[in-house]
Amino acid sequence: MLPADPRLPVNLRREAAALASTWSPRVVAEVNGQFVKVARVRGEFVWHAHEGEDELFLVLDGRLRLRFEDRTVELGPGDCAVVPRGVRHNPQCDGEVLLALFEPKATAHTGDVVSDRARSIEEQLR
C-alpha cells in the first residue's frame, strides 16, 4: 500500500527489511509513471527480459550479482545498475540482499517468462 501522503518520507531499507518473503517486491512509492519497489532476495531468480522497459536495481544491503548472457555485474550497498529493455538477466546472491527497484508501472515481475515466482502488480501493491 502506498503512503497516504506521498510527501511523507519512505525509508527504503526499513521497508525492504520488513518484508517476510523473498523475491516478492512491494511498491512503496510512485513517481512519473514509475513504481519504486523494495525486495528481500536470496539465491537465484529466473532468467528473463523486459521487452519494453528498463529496470534499475539499487542495492540497499548485501551483495547482488546481475548475470547477463555475456558477463556478470557485482553490486554492493549503494550501487545501482540499469538493465536495458530487452536484455536477458538473472539476479543472484549468496546471502540475503535488500533491494530497491525502479520500473515503469507496466513492468511484469518475471518479464517474458511464465513462472510460479511471478507476482502481479496487485500483489506488489499490498
Give the per-residue pLDDT at 104.
86
Determine the pLDDT at residue 107. 67
pTM of the model: 0.83
- Whose cell is 511523507? That residue is 8
For residue 64, what are the domain limits? 12-124
Domain assignment present for residue 7? The answer is no
For the chain, which ranges sit under pLDDT 50? none
**Which CATH number fits the domain that encloses residue 99?**
2.60.120.10
The answer to whether residue 118 sits within a structural domain is yes
pLDDT at res. 40: 96
What's the Cα-to-Cα distance from 49 to each of 2, 23, 67, 93, 110, rounded to whole Å?
Answer: 26, 16, 12, 18, 7
Q: Looking at the domain assignment, is residue 5 inside a domain?
A: no
Q: Let me know if residue 3 belongs to a domain.
A: no
- pLDDT value at residue 2: 66
How high is the pLDDT of residue 14?
Answer: 96
Q: Is 52 inside any structural domain? A: yes
| Number of domains forming the structure of the chain | 1
Residue 1 lies in a domain: no
